[in-house]
Structure formats: C-alpha cells, structure tokens
C-alpha cells in the first residue's frame, strides 16, 4: 500500500497538514489531450487530514482554476449553517511520495484558513491513518 | 475577497430541476441508484456514483452534468469540522 509520512513542527497546533497537488481527473485529461487542448497544470495546495469531515473539501475557486465542470450537488450541515448547497467536483489529489487518489470533493469556502483542501473520511476509509502525537508525525497509507 | 461558491450549483440548475421533475418515477424504478442527467435529459441510472460519472464523461464530455443518488430523503453531509467558513 503506497504511503507517506510527514512530520509537522507543531502537530497539535497545525494538525496533520501536508503539501499536495490538485489536478484534473484522468478522464478530463484524456479528453483534453484528444482534443488537442492544453491540460491545466496541477495546483499546489496545503491540505489537511480532517477526521471531522465526512467528505473531502476543496477551496472555492480551485475547480474554476482547473477549468472543471461540476458533477453534482450536495447539501451540507456545519457547526453554524444548515442545508447549504455546494457543488461537487471530480478531482485528482497527488499526495506526497507519489500517492495519487481520486476524489469527489465538495467545493466550499475555507476562507481564513491556511489550507485549501480537507481530506475527509471518504478518502480515509480507503486507507490507514497513523497519528503519533508525541513525535509530531503522521502516516497515511492508501 | 471571498470566492463565490454558488457558481457551480448554478451551472447545474437545469439538471437539478430535471431531477426534481422526475424524482417520483425515479424512486419507483431506480431507488438508491445513481442517476446521470444533462439538461432535461436523463442519461441513465447506475450502480455507483463513479460509474455514473465515468459515463457522464463518455457521453457529455467536459460540460457540466449531474450525478445524484435517487433517495426518498436527502441526507445532508455533516461536518463536525470548524474549518468550514459558513
């Protein structure tokens, strides 16, 4: 199982954060190449594993920058809002150590945060997360 | 400046209306399956979300399409996380 391990300077303060790339999904890349159109460059993001998120989230605007069209709509409940409709986007997430995963991510605002992607339990259910607090490291295998 | 999150939903306005218009019949024939919709056209129902999305790419291409699970009651996605800015 491919995996990556990251050490965070202050894991308690910052959470399990890591650098990743968000890219168009494979079918979109294939279609663009077949049509002789340029494939948008992957976007470097700060991501965080969030066990409180039942589904992964991408920052509003990322899908637009990748030229992606939505594939669905979901209603979300948060601590402060209910039944907010949000678009769903099919994306590819390249994690450290060449781990690549496909996601159907909810697009919403992560304004005020230093992260652009939340990796939720939809991706976690495919793998194993080991969080070692006293060493400031975590490992995600998928 | 906050980036609008409404554009993506707005792009699927017609598809969402199509889903609602056909929801009763879909519940009768395709309950719990995933329906693929482009505009006013239902393009099929599928066993999984991924199957429906892949078919969407094959049939619709790079334009927006709606994939939605046919259920009696829509269950919102819950976030215990406080990172969501809404």
The answer to whether the Cβ–Cβ distance between B79 and A53 falls below 8 Å is yes
Has this prediction a pTM greater than 0.90? yes
| Cβ neighbours of B7 in A, within 8 Å | 64, 87
pLDDT band of residue B1 (cuts 50, 70, 90) is very low
- Residue B29, min C-alpha distance to chain A (Å): 21
Between CA A130 and CA B26 the distance in angstroms is 42
Of A78, A80, A86, which has the smallest distance from its Cβ to B9's Cβ?
Answer: A86
Q: What is the CA radius of gyration of chain A?
A: 15
Q: Provide the pLDDT for residue A70.
A: 97
Looking from the CA of B53 toward its CB, the CA atoms found within 13 Å total 21
Between CA B37 and CA B42 the distance in angstroms is 5
The answer to whether the Cβ–Cβ distance between B8 and A52 falls below 8 Å is no
**What is the tens place of the pLDDT at every residue in B13-29?**
999 999 999 999 999 99
For residue B76, give both structure tokens. 């919102």
ipTM: 0.90
CATH topology of domain A3-141: Cathepsin D, subunit A; domain 1 (2.40.70)
Mean pLDDT of chain B: 90
3-state secondary structure of B70: coil
Between CA A48 and CA A68 the distance in angstroms is 22
3-state secondary structure of A141: strand
| Cβ neighbours of B83 in A, within 8 Å | 48, 50, 53, 110, 113, 115, 118
Tens of pLDDT along chain A (142 residues) come to 899 999 999 999 999 999 999 999 999 999 999 999 999 999 999 999 999 888 999 999 999 999 999 999 999 887 777 888 999 999 999 999 888 999 999 999 886 678 999 999 999 999 999 999 999 999 999 9
The answer to whether the Cβ–Cβ distance between A79 and B67 falls below 8 Å is no
Of A70, A83, A112, which has the smallest distance from its Cβ to B76's Cβ?
Answer: A83
All structural domains of chain A with their residue ranges: 3-141
- Residue A96, min C-alpha distance to chain B (Å): 23
Question: How distant, in Å, are the alpha carbons of A72, A113, B17 from that of A69?
Answer: 9, 25, 18
Question: How distant, in Å, are the alpha carbons of A9, A56, B13, B29 from that of A101?
Answer: 26, 12, 29, 33
pLDDT band of residue B81 (cuts 50, 70, 90) is low
């Amino acid at each position: 199982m491919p995996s990556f391990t990251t050490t965070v300077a202050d894991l308690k303060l910052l959470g399990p954060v890591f650098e990743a790339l968000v890219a168009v999904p494979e079918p979109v890349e294939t279609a663009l190449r077949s049509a002789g159109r340029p494939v948008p460059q992957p976007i470097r993001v700060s991501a965080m594993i969030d066990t409180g998120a039942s589904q992964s989230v991408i920052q509003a605007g990322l899908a637009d920058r990748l030229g992606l069209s939505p594939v669905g709509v979901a209603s979300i409940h948060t601590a402060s809002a209910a039944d907010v409709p949000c678009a769903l986007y099919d994306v590819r997430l390249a994690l450290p150590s060449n781990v690549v995963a496909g996601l159907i991510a909810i697009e919403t605002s992560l304004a005020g945060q230093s992260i652009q992607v939340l990796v939720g339990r939809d991706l976690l259910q495919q793998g194993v997360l080991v969080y070692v607090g006293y060493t400031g490291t975590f490992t995600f295998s998928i | 400046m906050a980036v609008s999150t409404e554009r993506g939903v707005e792009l699927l306005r017609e598809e969402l209306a199509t889903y609602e218009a056909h929801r009763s019949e879909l519940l009768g024939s395709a309950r719990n399956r995933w329906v693929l919709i482009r505009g006013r056209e239902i393009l099929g129902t599928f066993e999984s979300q991924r199957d429906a999305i892949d078919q969407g790419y094959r049939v619709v291409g790079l334009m927006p399409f709606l994939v939605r699970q046919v259920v009696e009651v829509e269950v919102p996605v819950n976030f215990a996380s406080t990172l969501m800015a809404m």
